[in-house]
Homo-oligomer: A and B are copies of this chain.
Amino acid sequence: MTEAVAFVPGHVTGFFTADHDDDPTKAGSRGAGVALADGVTVRLEPGDGVEVNGEDSEIEAVDRVLNALRSTARVVVETELPLSAGFGVSGAAALGAALTANEVFGHGLSENELVTIAHGAEVQAGTGLGDVVAQARGGFPVRLEAGAPAHGAMDGVPAARNVEYVSFGELSTTAVLNGDTEALTAAGREALSALVAEPTLETFMHVSRSFAREVGLLTPAVREAIEDVSATGGEASMAMLGETVFALDTGLSDAGYDAERCSVSLAGAHLR
Contacts and interface: CB of A to CB of B under 8 A. Distances in A.
Interface of A: 99, 102-103, 108-114, 138-139, 142, 149, 155-160, 196, 198-200, 266-268, 270-272
Contacts of A268: 138-139, 266
A110 B196 contact: yes
How many copies of this kind of chain does the complex include?
A: 2
A66 B56 CA distance: 55
A99 B158 contact: yes
Contacts of A102: 158
Q: Find the residue from A99, A142, A160 having the highest chain B CB count within 10 A.
A: A160
A158 B103 contact: yes
Contacts of A114: 158
Nearest to A158: B111
Contact of A110 (B103, B157, B270): B157
Given A99-B158, A149-B155, A158-B102, A142 B110 contact: yes
A109 B199 CA distance: 6
A271 B158 contact: yes
Contact of A199 (B103, B110, B142, B199): B110
B160 A267 contact: no
A111 B156 contact: yes
A83 to B, nearest CB: 25
11 contacts: A109-B199, A110-B158, A110-B199, A111-B155, A111-B158, A113-B199, A114-B158, A138-B268, A139-B270, A158-B271, A160-B271
